[in-house]
Amino acid sequence: LNHYAKLFSFYAKMPMEKKAVEMVEKCLDKYFQHLCDDLEVFAAHAGRKTVRPEDLELLMRRQGLVSEQVSLHVLVERHLPLEYRQQLVPCAFSGNTVFPAQ
Amino acid sequence: MALSTTVSQKKLIKRKAPRGFLKRVFKQRKPHLRLETTSDLLVHLNCLLFVHRLAEEARTNACENKCGVIKKEHVLAAAKVILKKSRG
C-alpha cells in the first residue's frame, strides 16, 4: 500500500499531512476489497474460476474509465511503462506476426 | 511545526508494478480464484487510475478551501466520491 500512497502524493502535486496519507491507505484497502469482490462476481458470471483481462476491461468500463472515446489500449499506453505495454497491447512484429496473439 | 506534519512530494517514483504484492492481496481476499498472467497488470493500471482520480479530487477540495496542504478531510471527501464512482 505504501507504493500507491507514494503515487498519490506524486499525482497530487501538493504537500500533504501524515494523517492524510493514513487516510489514503485506508481508502486503498477498501478499494481493493471492492475490486476483488467485483472481479469474483464477473468471473462467476462468465462461469470461470480465473480472472481474465476481459473482466478487468468490463470493470473499467463500468467505472467509466474505458469509454467509446478512450479505449483500454489508450489508457495502457498513457499510464504503463514500455515493458508492460508490450505485454498488453498487440503490436505487429517482423514476419507478419502479431504479439501477443489474441 | 508545519514541516514535521506534512509529507513533501517525492521527486522520483517507481514506475514498476508491485506484481507480487497485487497477487498476494488478491489471493488473501479470494483464495479460490486465479489471476490470469497479464490481468494483474491491468489491476495495477486500475489502481493507478483510482489513485489518480482520488488525488485530483483531493487537490480540488484543498484548492476550494484555499489550503496549501492536503488534509485528512479533503481526502475523506474525495474518497466518498471516488469510491462511489469506482464501483463495478
**pTM metric for this prediction:** 0.81
Region A76-101 average pLDDT:
71
| pLDDT for position B3 | 42
Q: Across the interface, which of B30, B39, B75 has its CB nearest the CB of A23?
A: B75
Find the residue in A nearest to B39 (Cα): A53
Find the residue in A nearest to B11 (Cα): A10
Task: Kindly report the average pLDDT of chain B as a whole number.
Answer: 77
Q: Is B9 on the interface with A (CB under 8 A)?
A: yes
- Please report the ipTM that was assigned to this predicted complex: 0.81
Torsions phi, psi for B6 (to 5 deg): -105, 155
Instruction: Give pLDDT tens digits for B5-36.
Output: 555 554 556 677 778 888 888 888 888 888 88
Q: Across the interface, which of A6, A24, A33 has its CB nearest the CB of B29?
A: A33
Region B45-58 average pLDDT:
84
| pLDDT for position B19 | 81
Q: A76-83 contacts: CB < 8 A, separation 24 or more?
A: A76/B45, A79/B45, A79/B48, A79/B49, A79/B52, A80/B15, A80/B17, A80/B41, A80/B44, A80/B45, A80/B48, A81/B15, A81/B16
* Contact of A11 with B50, CB cutoff 8 Å: no
